Amino acid sequence: MTIEASTPLGSKIVRPFEVTNRLMLAITIPVMLASLTTPLLGLVDTAVIGQLGDAHLLGGLAIGALVFDFLFSTMNFLRSGTTAMVAQAMGRHDDVEQQAVFWRAIGIAAVVGVLFIAATPLILSATIGFMDPDSAVTSAMSTYVSIRLLSSPMALGNFVVLGLLLGQGKAMQGLYLQLLLNGVNVVMTIWLGLVMDWGVTGIAWGTVLGESVALVIGLFMIHRQFRAVANPTQARILDVHEIRRMFTVNRDIMLRSFLLLIAYAYFTRAGTQAGAVTLATNAVLMNFLLISGYLIDGVTTAAEQISGRAVGAHYRPAFDRGVKLSFLWGMALAMVMATFFFVFGNSIVAFLIKSNEVQSMASHYLPWAAMAPVAGLLAFHMDGVFIGATWSRDMRNMMILSLLGYFAAYFILPFYFGNHGLWLALHLFLGLRGLSLLSLLPSRARVQFAD
């Protein structure tokens, strides 16, 4: 709800949206549902290759998927950074700046996407050098990566489209686009991979087609929206100050994402050094944290949009209530997930892997994995608040501090407590991230909303 009051000089003070549970859930639920469709793609790809009965193809697909997890996870700032800046422009009731933010971000997406395609030989060489797969796996991986890299401009463009819609609070439209993207991907993967018997080639082209169709439809939707309001001039889009601000925020978010990947990579590395059974156990249990992240992403995105909109409107009450409600909904969701994992965790592990040794060990470490959603909630939540407010430098710095603390625990605790120590180090890392940002929140908010 928008309330306007006139000052003695006749100017208007805009008191923006009231933050309600309904507003929170209108963003949270669609984003949560959209996020849940992402793991489905990996399952479909694996199932298609599994029908072909060639382990080398599955290995090539797995390595290829890791390549794109790394490339696109580090570029996720195109989604979150766009959401934050569009939400702030929305809070200021600046429709022109919302468009300008979109065109700046789409320009970055196009340039980076083309660079990814041009760097295909380098990406393949680095992957082969790091993973050292055999020739059959290398061939499958190279085919998959080379084709799927062609979709880079479209994939990154979809990040920007989704960021704009979420920044405007249009989460249902974002859900429809994600369902379209993933639906086309699944159908074409099955058709090309199985029916046409193209194998890995078909799976890769299925992804390219899914990304392309979603971007075309998304751009059409946005064109219709932009047509109804004034358009920014080229000078406004290319404003040096705003471009520099966008690059600064996006750089910090990208670095934060990269450091997070490093933390998870070292967790996997420690399991590798402890032996195959421990590696498999940790890998299976780590899925509990990853699934939690997908679900909590809805609350995180709501925190981004509402905090960004409140900052843009310079309206502290909406900011404070948004922070409070998003945390409460996130904690409720985290507790539900933790309870679910405690009750059904062993059954999930038994379904995912048939090894008795792994099942036995997983039961031993299940409490750590089950409590991961609760341990990580504050970190996920604070990330959303700080991204929405574009306090990206603080988020980057606290990630560096938390990673240093994680490495200290990582190299000490497993020596005394084995794999329990490794899981404890991960929980400490999650806790440090959340608490360090929370400690900065009052002072940052006080400065941001000072009269």
Q: What is the SS3 string spanning the chain?
A: CCEEEECCCCCEEEECCCCCHHHHHHHHHHHHHHHHHHHHHHHHHHHHHHHHCCHHHHHHHHHHHHHHHHHHHHCCHHHHHHHHHHHHHHHCCCHHHHHHHHHHHHHHHHHHHHHHHHCHHHHHHHHHHHHCCCHHHHHHHHHHHHHHHHHHHHHHHHHHHHHHHHHCCCHHHHHHHHHHHHHHHHHHHHHHHHHCCCCHHHHHHHHHHHHHHHHHHHHHHHHHHHHCCCCCCHHHHCCHHHHHHHHHHHHHHHHHHHHHHHHHHHHHHHHHHHCHHHHHHHHHHHHHHHHHHHHHHHHHHHHHHHHHHHHHHCCHHHHHHHHHHHHHHHHHHHHHHHHHHHHHHHHHHHHHCCCHHHHHHHHHHHHHHHCHHHHHHHHHHHHHHHHHCCCHHHHHHHHHHHHHHHHHHHHHHHHHHHHHHHHHHHHHHHHHHHHHHHHHHHHHHHHHCCC
Q: What is the pLDDT of residue 197?
A: 86
CA 135, CA 60: separation in Å to the nearest integer?
A: 10
Predicted confidence (pLDDT) per residue in 256-284, tens digit: 988 998 898 888 778 767 777 787 788 78
Predicted confidence (pLDDT) per residue in 218-253, tens digit: 999 999 999 888 889 999 999 999 999 998 999 999
Give the CA distances from residue 41 to residues 35, 102, 183, 190, 193, in Å, rounded to whole numbers and listed in that order: 11, 27, 9, 11, 13
Predicted confidence (pLDDT) per residue in 273-328, tens digit: 777 778 778 878 887 888 888 888 899 999 999 999 999 999 999 999 999 999 99
299 contacts 27 by C-beta, under 8 angstroms:
no
Model confidence at 190: pLDDT above 60: yes
Predicted confidence (pLDDT) per residue in 145-188, tens digit: 999 999 999 999 999 999 999 999 999 999 999 999 989 999 99
Give the CA distances from residue 78 to residues 31, 91, 393, in Å, rounded to whole numbers and listed in that order: 16, 20, 17
Q: What is the pLDDT of residue 3?
A: 42
The per-residue b/e assignment along 411-443, b for 16 or more CB within 10 angstroms, e otherwise, is eebbeeeebebbbbbbbbbbbbbbebbbebbee
Q: What is the pLDDT of residue 63?
A: 82
Please compute the mean of the pLDDT values over residues 19-44 and round it to a whole number: 83
Confidence class for position 143, pLDDT limits 50, 70, 90: very high
Residue with the bigger pLDDT between 137 and 116: it is: 116
Model confidence at 15: pLDDT above 80: no
CA 207, CA 59: separation in Å to the nearest integer?
A: 18
Q: What is the pLDDT of residue 49?
A: 74
Q: What is the pLDDT of residue 53?
A: 66
382 contacts 330 by C-beta, under 8 angstroms:
no
Q: What is the pLDDT of residue 239?
A: 92
Q: What is the pLDDT of residue 12?
A: 43
Q: What six digits make up the tokens of 227?
A: 């047509």
Please compute the mean of the pLDDT values over residues 113-127 and round it to a whole number: 95
Q: Report the percent of the chain where pLDDT is more than 90.
A: 63
Predicted confidence (pLDDT) per residue in 393-425, tens digit: 999 999 999 999 999 999 999 989 999 999 999
Q: What is the pLDDT of residue 43?
A: 63
159 contacts 181 by C-beta, under 8 angstroms:
no
Q: Is the pTM of this model over 0.85?
A: yes
The per-residue b/e assignment along 335-356, b for 16 or more CB within 10 angstroms, e otherwise, is eebbebbeeebeebbeeebebe
Q: What is the pLDDT of residue 16?
A: 65
Predicted confidence (pLDDT) per residue in 337-388, tens digit: 999 999 998 888 887 777 788 888 889 999 999 999 999 999 999 999 999 9
**Closest-CA residue to 362 (of 295, 284, 428):** 284
CA 369, CA 361: separation in Å to the nearest integer?
A: 12
Please compute the mean of the pLDDT values over residues 440-444 and round it to a whole number: 96
Residue with the bigger pLDDT between 115 and 134: it is: 115
177 contacts 217 by C-beta, under 8 angstroms:
yes
Confidence class for position 39, pLDDT limits 50, 70, 90: low
Q: What is the pLDDT of residue 265?
A: 81
